[in-house]
Structure 1
Amino acid sequence: MALDSRSLKRSLLGTPRARFRGLILLFWAGLSVVVIRLYVVEVIKHKHYLALAQENIVKSTPIPPLRGEITDRNGVVLVHNGPEFALFEIPGEVRNPQEIRWVATDLGIPVSHLLRSTRSLGFVLPSHVPIPLVAGLSMAQVGRVNMDLYRLPGFFIQIMPKRIYPDNNLAAHLLGYVGSFTPGDLKRSLYRHLPPGTGVGKSGIEKEYDGWLQGTPGLRRQLVNSHGSMIKSLREKPPGEGRSLRLTIDVRLQSVAERMLGDRRGAVVALDPRNGEVLAMASHPAYSPGELSQAMSTLRWSALVHAQDHPLTNRATQGLYPPGSVFKIVTTMSGLQEDKLDPDKTFHCGGTFRVGSVIFHDWKKGGHGTLRLHRAIEQSCDIFFYTLGMKLGPDAIARVARDFGLGQKTGIDLPAELSGVVPDRAWKKKYLHAPWYPGETPPMAIGQGYLTVTPLEMARLMGAIAMNGQISSPHLRLGKQKTSLSWVGLPVKDFAIVKADLRDVVAAPHGTGHPVNLPFFAIAGKTGTAQVVSNRGPNKDKKRPRADSWFVGFGPFDSPRIVVAVLIENGGDGGDVAGPVAREVFRMYYVIHSAELPSPAASSPPLLSGGRAL
């Protein structure tokens, strides 16, 4: 029985010699694995592991790039860079979850503020990448945090570039603002190489030309010990500054436009009709670019977004308004084009106009009496244009409006531009699923009804009138493009008729635009008082809010160099309210360029109101 047991054991384990050979084989197999692994580590992946080892003693911190300056056409700096202190966290180096609470205590701010910053980017960036927590630290805050850095290995303070914008929020909507990029921005290839904390354009010129203004990031290298404390600074790569951007605007005209707007809601656009260069673009109320460039509470941002006055809206390019009587220019051009209007034919305005059971009234009680086209434009006779509109119909008026670029984006180099609406029969059927009724044509003929425009669209339209049918493309970057004018396709002789009429709107004592008149600078233009149904600001819930006030004009008359469009929401009479704003912009243009301009006598034609207008 014992013999059988030994035989069984020998058959299972083999002989002692066999077992010894197995151990030898196992030893050499294990040794081979070790040797192969050493070869991989020391030879094949030597550079990789050497870099990892160096990272343990050399700490690299990215430095955000510097953005280029933004200047006006004369080189006056509008936006530049300044320094500020910012606090960063490296999530992978934070040893104690309580550290962020200690930091919040040092800064004197709620810990939730810091946690919100961490969560916004912490989930999409590697743990070794620094995340900006808060910027704009005071010297006192920097001092308190620095005293605690010995127990905060995952945090550090860095000097960051800060955008400095003009005082009084000058040209805020035009310039825009920057902000730290978001997780959504990381999906764009333009931002993937930028370190967190870099300012990127969020609106206006800052956004439109972000790639132009953005510089290249730098790198700071430091020798640190095992606790993360710096031993010494190593050679660093400084950040590169972006390219400067020179705009077409003149800060002197911009300042006058904004000062004249005051606290009223509205917009001013001034441009050169010869080349489309925007000389000024103001929109009120404005926001503070400096405030929006910093971290902002959700409550404050919500208040800005939902404010009744809409301070985030650039009214020059995004505000949609009925053009009012300024649109009578288009109706006139359409009447001349369709041979439905004889400038020398007399017309009697009795103060009312009937379409079916609807009675339309003139703005002047009792009407204007007997007149011709010239005085109809000069004094903005509604009945004259109601009648002309019914002869033309909506489609003919809409065709000429679109020839002037209305209802289309101008293509200006600003983000989020909107276009107005030019209605006709097809438009109403498509969007409102209803036919066009005869009673809808008279309001359209005087710039009311479904018709809407932006102030920039109206400035471009007046530029085309000034240039006898040549229309320019508005732009803000100086030297962006060569002068490119397109033709609207209407007879030049018709422009001469309309321009002479627009001159007397301003020059004639009874013209609706006479408050704009300057004796030394010949101006032509058109006023507008557009009725609105509005929930804007203080007009909310009012049955009859005050009308929008318009003036759009150009000068000098014989050699147009500037177009000014002014819109004031719920301002009332166009000549008395919007007119003086335009007048002061024209006045400043004359002051700046008086040496280059023709003499007043040469550029002021005789008034025509004593001739064929009677």
Structure 2
Amino acid sequence: MYRIRVRIILALFAISLAVVAAKATYMQIVLGAHYRALAHMRRLRTVPIDTLRGTIYDRNGIPLAHEEPVFQVKVILKEVEKLDEAARKTWCRNLAKISNITPARAEELLQQAKAKIEEEALSSPKEKEAKFIRWFRRKTPQVLIEKVNLKTAALIEINQDSLPGVVTSLKARRIYPQGPAAAHIIGYLQAINPEEFKQYKDSFAGSEHKRFFPQDLIGRQGLERYYEARLRGSRGLKAEIVDAQFHIHEEYAERPPEPGQDLDLTLDIHMQRAAEAELDDLFEEKGLPGSVVLLDPKTGAILAMATSPRYNPNSFFRDWPQLSQDQHHPLLNRATQATYPLGSVFKVVTLIAGMESGILRPETSFSCQGTYHLGDRDFHCIVSQGHGHTDLHMGLVKSCNIYFFNAGKLTGHREILRWARAFGLGSSTGIDLPSESSGLLPDTAWMWKNQGRGWYLGDTFNLSIGQGALLVTPLQAARMMAAIADEGRLRQPHLLASEDSEGSFQDLGISPRTLDFLKKALDDVVNSPSGTGYRHIRSDVVAIAGKTGTAEVAKDIEPHAWFVGYAPADDPEVAIAVIVEHGGLGGAVAGPVAKSILEEIFKPKG
């Protein structure tokens, strides 16, 4: 329904432009001689026509960002500057009366418009360019009042004779109808700064309809920034015939504006809200920030990407003082920009590396007494008394650190790192969002460069259980588990629906034997009484498989809580990664968050 209304509006707009264009043709051809005769009294000027930014929709056609019409008051300074002092005072009084401001405020707004032009001119390194800016801006409409109601706009149009140089324009204001939902994905708009203005001016040299003006808004974060060129569209131009007093007698379009392209996303706003609700509860009750990523393992499509705490893009500038000082960093997209040690979730990589290299077999067993003594250092298991004699399956199901210290020692850190790289850890995923973090996958070269030493066996122990210098984003963790759910196929995460493709993937070459073994273990992590996720994650609504993780960060500081998995376990439709910063045990804190979200998604309809 929303799209139909948009099409109707655009159709009406096109019809009106066609009428104006026909009128222009008539003026030029039939009345050309007449207007040439009036040239000494009237002149032609061109005025830019703003365009509409593209709408952003979720996968169900629900608008996440769209334009709302707002009337602006603009002024052509060159025309006001020709007024004598008495006429100028009258001009200020007339504007003040109509706009419900004081004459002093009208003069102040006029000076501010001049100051903006001067600021732009001074930012130019070349005097010739600065001179052109002053000349061009003075003869084109500059914003005087950002927003007025329809009545005020109509009064200004009616009283043009007493307000030379003043025009109104219908400006589009960006609205985010879902409020803070998906704010970190959608992003927000902000005024272009001088550096960006110069950059875009050079990029669109010779394309006047694509150029930016100093008061323009551009995408600052999220999809608004990443797809700025698609969303923005192109300005139009209209011609006006004005007399010596700058009154408009005729106007017609030289070139109609081109609306920006709409974006249809893979995001499901209902799943997004379910994820955000769980994170919001945790933050409100315990003050714990976190992130959730949901993606389709068969396509790489992002279904939800939630971060807590959040912000509301509709009130971003009003809230800025508080947001900028918040120690929880609500502007940070934790799913793609924050990095964390992966903890025991990384054991799936160590298992794959060991089995694919032939080092580990299902029957490979080690004895866990709770501690591994290495030189003068002790490495501990999650169970202080140990797990006893443990094979590979139970080593993962019970998340036995001692088992994976031994497994890592036999497999070797190079083989483990090779598989970690294959899953994309330590590299940005290439998702269509700006400022993605790559994480960190430490190797021998990194150790020499950053710690001034080589690689030790203790480093292998840490790597084998996802500790040490290893850092990943929640998106990387979700992508890794999605590849396991989809038979070892690594896919490109994306938000644009047009990028969906089941046929585009990188086959990691994991043997069916290893995948079958691993999937059974991940199932038992949640659904076997011996599993670390059984108590808090097992569901009667949907079969969940995955791995818990408790990632240590520093002594006397609560560890990060992880759960990374997929559902349904036998035919995965959704891969999920949940992290709760300093939440404690992954199974007890992150696990229930994942369970609630997945149960909301898969609950019986009706």
Hey, what does 1:395 align to over in structure 2? 414
Hey, what does 1:186 align to over in structure 2? 201
Residues 344 and 550, structure 2, Cα contact 8 Å, conserved in 1: yes
Cα distance in 2, alignment partners of residues 140 and 432 from structure 1: 68
Hey, what does 1:209 align to over in structure 2? 227
Hey, what does 2:300 align to over in structure 1? 276
Cα distance in 1, alignment partners of residues 565 and 40 from structure 2: 69
Q: How far does residue 121 in structure 1 lie from its aligned partner after superposition?
A: 3.5
Cα distance in 1, alignment partners of residues 304 and 38 from structure 2: 55
Matched, 1:492 2:512: yes
Cα distance in 1, alignment partners of residues 425 and 532 from structure 2: 24
- Choose 213-222 or 326-335, whichever is displaced more: 213-222
Matched, 1:365 2:384: yes
In the TM superposition, what whole-angstrom CA distance separates every residue of 1:538-594 from its partner, at most 9, and x where no partner exists?
A: xxxxx63221111111122221111011112112221222112212322233248x7
Distance 1:386 1:54, change over 3 A: farther
Residues 220 and 235, structure 1, Cα contact 8 Å, conserved in 2: yes
Q: How far does residue 288 in structure 1 lie from its aligned partner after superposition?
A: 2.5
Cα distance in 2, alignment partners of residues 252 and 347 from structure 1: 46
Matched, 1:286 2:302: no
Matched, 1:72 2:58: yes
Matched, 1:477 2:463: no
Q: Matched residue of 1:326: which SS?
A: helix
What count of residue pairs does the alignment treat as equivalent?
534
Cα distance in 2, alignment partners of residues 81 and 579 from structure 1: 39
Cα distance in 1, alignment partners of residues 56 and 265 from structure 2: 7
Cα distance in 2, alignment partners of residues 561 and 54 from structure 1: 73
- Unaligned 5+ segments in structure 2 are 1-31, 123-129
Hey, what does 2:29 align to over in structure 1? none
Matched, 1:261 2:272: no
Hey, what does 2:183 align to over in structure 1? 172
In the TM superposition, what whole-angstrom CA distance separates every residue of 1:408-444 from its partner, at most 9, and x where no partner exists?
A: 1111111221211111112222444422233222222
Distance 1:101 1:115, change over 3 A: farther
- Choose 451-460 or 128-137, whichever is displaced more: 128-137
Matched, 1:438 2:470: no
Distance 1:290 1:496, change over 3 A: same
In the TM superposition, what whole-angstrom CA distance separates every residue of 1:231-267 from its partner, at most 9, and x where no partner exists?
A: 5655686533222221111111111011111034221
Residues 403 and 489, structure 1, Cα contact 8 Å, conserved in 2: no
Residues 118 and 133, structure 1, Cα contact 8 Å, conserved in 2: no
Hey, what does 1:512 align to over in structure 2? 532
Residues 419 and 453, structure 1, Cα contact 8 Å, conserved in 2: yes
Hey, what does 1:406 align to over in structure 2? 425
1:529 to 547, 550, 553: 550
Cα distance in 1, alignment partners of residues 37 and 191 from structure 2: 30
Report the AA paired with residue 366 of structure 1. Answer: Q
- Choose 268-277 or 364-373, whichever is displaced more: 364-373
Matched, 1:135 2:146: yes
Cα distance in 2, alignment partners of residues 106 and 564 from structure 1: 60
Matched, 1:588 2:604: no
Q: How does 1:132-171 map to 2 (within 5 A)?
A: 132=143, 135-137=146-148, 153-171=164-182
Distance 1:145 1:268, change over 3 A: farther
Q: How does 1:367-386 map to 2 (within 5 A)?
A: 367-386=386-405
Cα distance in 1, alignment partners of residues 472 and 36 from structure 2: 65
Cα distance in 2, alignment partners of residues 51 and 254 from structure 1: 65
Q: How far does residue 517 in structure 1 lie from its aligned partner after superposition?
A: 1.9
Residues 266 and 284, structure 1, Cα contact 8 Å, conserved in 2: yes
Hey, what does 1:17 align to over in structure 2? none
Cα distance in 2, alignment partners of residues 146 and 395 from structure 1: 74
Q: Matched residue of 1:79: which SS?
A: strand
- Unaligned 5+ segments in structure 1 are 1-45, 534-542, 596-614
Hey, what does 1:225 align to over in structure 2? 243
Residues 186 and 192, structure 1, Cα contact 8 Å, conserved in 2: no
Distance 1:288 1:141, change over 3 A: farther
Q: How far does residue 89 in structure 1 lie from its aligned partner after superposition?
A: 4.1
Distance 1:545 1:87, change over 3 A: farther
Distance 1:579 1:94, change over 3 A: farther
What percentage of residue pairs aligned between the two structures are identical? 37
Q: How does 1:406-425 map to 2 (within 5 A)?
A: 406-425=425-444
Residues 336 and 473, structure 2, Cα contact 8 Å, conserved in 1: yes
Report the AA paired with residue 300 of structure 2. Answer: G
Report the AA paired with residue 189 of structure 1. Answer: F
Residues 541 and 603, structure 2, Cα contact 8 Å, conserved in 1: no
Cα distance in 2, alignment partners of residues 361 and 101 from structure 1: 78
Cα distance in 2, alignment partners of residues 107 and 281 from structure 1: 49
Q: Rg: which structure is higher? A: 1
Residues 300 and 500, structure 2, Cα contact 8 Å, conserved in 1: no
Q: How does 1:74-93 map to 2 (within 5 A)?
A: 74-93=60-79
In the TM superposition, what whole-angstrom CA distance separates every residue of 1:19-64 from its partner, at most 9, and x where no partner exists?
A: xxxxxxxxxxxxxxxxxxxxxxxxxxx99x9799599544432121
Cα distance in 2, alignment partners of residues 379 and 92 from structure 1: 77
Cα distance in 1, alignment partners of residues 71 and 456 from structure 2: 64
Cα distance in 2, alignment partners of residues 54 and 238 from structure 1: 29
In the TM superposition, what whole-angstrom CA distance separates every residue of 1:56-76 from its partner, at most 9, and x where no partner exists?
A: 544432121111211111212
Residues 502 and 525, structure 1, Cα contact 8 Å, conserved in 2: yes
Q: How far does residue 505 in structure 1 lie from its aligned partner after superposition?
A: 1.0
In the TM superposition, what whole-angstrom CA distance separates every residue of 1:299-341 from its partner, at most 9, and x where no partner exists?
A: x757645642222221111111111111111111112123332
In the TM superposition, what whole-angstrom CA distance separates every residue of 1:156-191 from its partner, at most 9, and x where no partner exists?
A: 442201111133311111111223434233232298
Distance 1:108 1:255, change over 3 A: farther
Distance 1:387 1:106, change over 3 A: farther
Q: Matched residue of 1:193: which SS?
A: helix
Q: How far does residue 152 in structure 1 lie from its aligned partner after superposition?
A: 6.1
Distance 1:320 1:232, change over 3 A: same
Distance 1:137 1:372, change over 3 A: farther
1:545 to 533, 557, 571: 557
- Choose 151-160 or 57-66, whichever is displaced more: 151-160
Residues 54 and 66, structure 2, Cα contact 8 Å, conserved in 1: yes
Report the AA paired with residue 542 of structure 2. Answer: F
Cα distance in 1, alignment partners of residues 570 and 420 from structure 2: 24
Q: Matched residue of 1:519: which SS?
A: coil
Report the AA paired with residue 240 of structure 1. Answer: E
In the TM superposition, what whole-angstrom CA distance separates every residue of 1:468-488 from its partner, at most 9, and x where no partner exists?
A: 211111111112253301111
Residues 395 and 425, structure 1, Cα contact 8 Å, conserved in 2: no
Matched, 1:556 2:576: no
Cα distance in 1, alignment partners of residues 352 and 298 from structure 2: 21
Q: Matched residue of 2:595: which SS?
A: helix
Cα distance in 2, alignment partners of residues 277 and 207 from structure 1: 20
Hey, what does 1:538 align to over in structure 2? none
Q: Matched residue of 2:209: which SS?
A: coil
Distance 1:382 1:584, change over 3 A: same
Cα distance in 2, alignment partners of residues 145 and 562 from structure 1: 56
Cα distance in 2, alignment partners of residues 449 and 105 from structure 1: 65
Report the AA paired with residue 479 of structure 1. Answer: S
Report the AA paired with residue 277 of structure 1. Answer: A
